[in-house]
Structure 1
Amino acid sequence: MSYLIKPENYMPLLDLQQTELGIKQIKEFFQQNLSSELKLRRVTAPLFVLKGMGINDDLNGTERPVSFPIKELGDREAEVVHSLAKWKRMTLADYNIEPGYGIYTDMNAIRSDEELGNLHSLYVDQWDWERVITAEDRNIDFLKEIVNRIYAAMVRTEYMVCETYPQIKPCLPEKLFFIHAEELRQLYPDLDSKDREHAITQKHGAVFVFGIGGKLGDGKEHDLRAPDYDDYTTPGINGLPGLNGDLLVWNDVLKRSLELSSMGIRVDKEALLKQLKESGNEYRKSLYFHKRLLDGTLPLSIGGGIGQSRLCMFYLRKAHIGEIQSSIWPAEMIKECEELNIPLI
């Protein structure tokens, strides 16, 4: 089901040619800053992986991957990646990356079950990154340090954009506000999880919400996560579970929060076994990725994804992700966008 947020009196600040140039400038500038902040080297990533290896990201556990048979492999099925959360960790091992260093890549995916709208497209592009850590790094303070480094790169990028295009004014606060999903629930007990995000992000401008995936005090998850990449059960901030989270900024064009990144300290052997059991997915222990993690041949790591089109959409003050990337949209949405002065690429 598609859904279009309709901003009042919307007028793009950049024309199509300026927008295309802005996209190029943002992507080049931000990835260079991200690489420097986290000591990441660029690697080449797959568009698809073999089915049944446990490598593809299961996201919320309900999305169906786009798949196709490979003639030369006896029609064995391949799946277009949802993201590269697990593949990156194997690549760290295969490249013998040392603690304190990592990798990043341009991840391109197709998510055919996505609910299309201003923020969601069939086509997903993000910087997927992963960095080797030590056992001593598996704590909330280290996670906050990494998040703050990424946010610093975001602030510098906004400054570059505003210097290049004076009609765009800066809006990111100097500091990021941190809160656990359970604390957020208690702060806004009458709101659902998305409306809580809107409320807290409107108040602070930029927020990192810890503890995404585990059950909160009301027995519900703030949002769903696959059980085999982020560690959402190990105690973190204020003793509450979760060494992961989402980075949100306030989108003044759409008057709502905008998730730019999801990241976290990855599961170790203990957390993997616990989360597979709690989620009813213990059968995954026999899959290739999971066996490598359990037998100790994968390094401890931290990682995440940063939406490229969403980041550009935010910096260029666009109302629809289709102003940044070329995709497929329902005919009714295309018509409505034309009426609202939203030029889809």
Structure 2
Amino acid sequence: MVKTKIQKKYKSILGEKETEHAIVLIKDFFQLALSTELNLTRVTAPLFVRSGTGVNDDLNGVERPVSFPVKSMNEERLEIVQSLAKWKRLKVTDLGLKPGFGIYTDMNAIRPDEDLDAVHSLYVDQWDWEMAIDEKDRTIFFLHEIVEKIYRCIKRTEFFIYDRYDNIKPVLPEHIEFVYADDLQREYPDLTPKEREAKVAKKYGAVFISGIGGKLPDGSIHDGRSPDYDDWITETGDGHRGLNGDIIVWNDVLKAPFELSSMGIRVCPQSLTAQLEERGMEERAKLMFHTKLLKGQLTQTLGGGIGQSRLCMFLLRKAHIGETQVSIWPDKIHAECKKKGIKLLQLK
């Protein structure tokens, strides 16, 4: 993993107290905009789920969840969620939601295997959302329509903050650009995926990179994706594969690409089977979640997550995610932040 580094000495535009006030403003404004734009109803989310059910998100397939035994349940093990990618689909199915309607929630996760840097922490907070869709909507074009709606919410929130703090100037372009991971690999074959992201994010200001997780023309993948939630194998009909992607903006404070959201159309029984086979994980088909999906018992959905602390970090022009959330950091990060003039919210 390439770590995102703080480039130079830095001074926050807002003080700590102003920052805390601004975080509340952003969160309240954005979630209302998002729920209105996508027809989402807020639901309450779990902090932990049962082990061995296939419900927890294992991200790239290798990250270890935090787990613990429960005395009152005969020592059955539960796991702290790493995201709610699959739980949300179960919830949409349980609620019986019709296409065009969905849910959103505050997701709080712990990811102990995260490589810590300026944008990655042990604690993850995001708006997790999921909406029911028709089978006919399993297209890259429909996905891009939803991306544009989410981007409009981000743009409106940026102006909302500028309207209250006029020294935080808007920087996002009017429109988000759509690119494909395989096209980027062909255009920049000698660059790493992170370097390709930097090229297009700096060029356009905001991009949606489609086809994350599937094999590229050279056999590599742009970035890791578990095989059992996003569909990254289905052909799009325009010469590409993958019905998912990431919203990435150019972060001028960090001089780096900055991921705000990961999302996608969820796997159908056929794409789940194909993706499990490609990753050599066919044994997962026996788990509760996967069994339901393969039997056609789950609603077809589209969903994703939008980082709360990351969005606040970007809109408030912060240099470290520890300025918009409280986590735990190693001594070397505390020392680096102190040297660069960064005040973390977590007390040393």
Cα distance in structure 2, aligned partners of 1:43 and 1:341: 39
How far the C-alpha of 1:239 sits from its partner, in A, is: 2.0
Q: Which residue number in structure 2 is paired with residue 314 of structure 1?
A: 314
SS of 1:216's equivalent?
A: coil
Give the residue type in structure 2 aligned to 1:13. Answer: I
Residues 232 and 242 in structure 2, CA contact (< 8 A), matched pair in contact too: yes
Contact 1:2 1:116 in 2 (8 A): no
CA RMSD of aligned residues (A): 1.1
Q: CA deviation at 1:237?
A: 6.2
Per the alignment, residue 254 of structure 1 pairs with 254
Pairwise CA distance, 1:60: 0.6
Provide Cα deviations, 1:200-248, integer angstroms capped at 9, x if missing partner: 1000000000000100011000011100100001112622110000000
Q: Tell me whether 1:153 sits opposite 2:161 in the alignment.
A: no
Counterpart amino acid of 2:103?
Answer: I
1:274 aligns with 2:279: no
Is the CA contact 2:4–2:256 (under 8 Å) kept in the aligned structure 1?
no
| 2:166 aligned partner | 166
Paired amino acid for 2:169: K
- Give structure 1 stretches of 5+ with no counterpart: none
SS in 2 for 1:182: helix
- TM-score with structure 2 length normalisation? 0.97
Alpha-carbon offset, residue 3 of structure 1? 5.3
Structure 1 position 114, deviation (Å) = 0.6
Q: Matches of 1:73 and 1:217 in 2, distance apart? A: 49
Structure 1 match to 2:205:
205
Instruction: Write the deviation string for residues 250-302 of structure 1: whole angstroms up to 9, x where unpaired.
Output: 00000000000000000011101111111111111111101111111110000
- How far apart are 1:73 and its partner, in Å? 1.1
Q: CA deviation at 1:4?
A: 6.4
Give SS of 1:239's match. Answer: coil
Structure 2 equivalent of residue 70 of structure 1: 70
Q: Give, as a single letter, the amino acid of the residue that structure 2 aligns with 1:234.
A: T
Distance 1:227 1:259 in 2: 20
For 1:292, what is the secondary structure of its paired residue? helix
Look up the SS of the partner of 2:109 in the other structure: strand
Contact 2:89 2:130 in 1 (8 A): yes
Give the aligned partner of residue 179 of structure 1: 179
* Unaligned 5+ runs, structure 2: none
Aligned counterparts of 2:208 and 2:167: Cα–Cα separation in 1: 28
Partner of 1:238, secondary structure, is coil
Query: Which residue does 2:239 correspond to in 1?
Result: 239
What is the CA–CA distance in structure 1 between the aligned matches of 2:225 and 2:43, rounded to whole Å?
A: 25
Amino acid at match of 2:23: I
Which AA in structure 1 matches 2:302? I
Large movers: runs of 4+ above 3 Å? 1-4
Aligned to 1:32: 32
Partners in 1 of 2:265 and 2:107 — Cα distance? 20
Write the distance in 2 (CA, Å) between the matches of 1:148 and 1:123: 28
Partner SS for 2:248: strand
The question of 1:105 aligning with 2:105 is answered yes
Distance, in Å, in 2 between the alignment partners of 1:4 and 1:153 is 26
SS in 1 for 2:130: strand
Aligned to 1:90: 90
Structure 2 distance, partners of 1:4, 1:336, is 13
1:6 CA displacement:
2.5
* CA displacement, residues 32-81 of structure 1 (integer Å, 9 cap, x when unaligned): 00001100000000000000000000101111000000111111110000
Q: Which amino acid in structure 1 is aligned with residue 10 of structure 2?
A: Y
Aligned to 1:328: 328
Shift in Å, 1:2: 10
Provide the secondary structure at the position in 1 that maps to 2:107. strand
Classify 1:317/1:77 alpha carbon distance in 2 versus 1 (closer, same or farther; 3 Å): same
Equivalent pair of 2:4/2:254 in contact (CA under 8 Å): no
Q: C-alpha separation between the residues in 2 aligned to 1:236 and 1:344?
A: 43
Residues 4, 119 of structure 2: 8 Å contact kept? no
Q: Say if 1:67 and 1:77, in contact at 8 Å, map to a contact too.
A: yes
Matched letter for residue 115 of structure 1: D
Change (3 A) 1:329 1:35: same
Q: 1:17 to 1:237 in 2, by over 3 A?
A: farther
Residue of structure 2 in register with 1:230 after alignment: 230
Q: Which amino acid in the other structure matches residue 215 of structure 2?
A: K
CA distance in 1 between counterparts of 2:2 and 2:246 reads 23
Q: State the partner residue of 1:299.
A: 299
Distance of 1:187 and 1:238 partners within structure 2: 17
| Partner deviation per Cα, 1:175-199 (whole Å, 9 max, x = no partner) | 0000000101112111100110011
Work out the percentage of aligned pairs sharing the same amino acid. Answer: 56
The equivalent residue for 2:51 is: 51
Separation in 1, partners of 2:321, 2:293: 36
Counterpart residue number, 1:191: 191
Post-superposition CA distance 1:8-37 (Å, at most 9, x none) = 231100000110001000000000000011
SS at match of 2:41: strand
Contact 1:40–1:101 under 8 Å retained in 2: yes
Distance 2:5 2:267 in 1: 36
For 2:71 and 2:201, the matched residues in 1 are separated by: 49
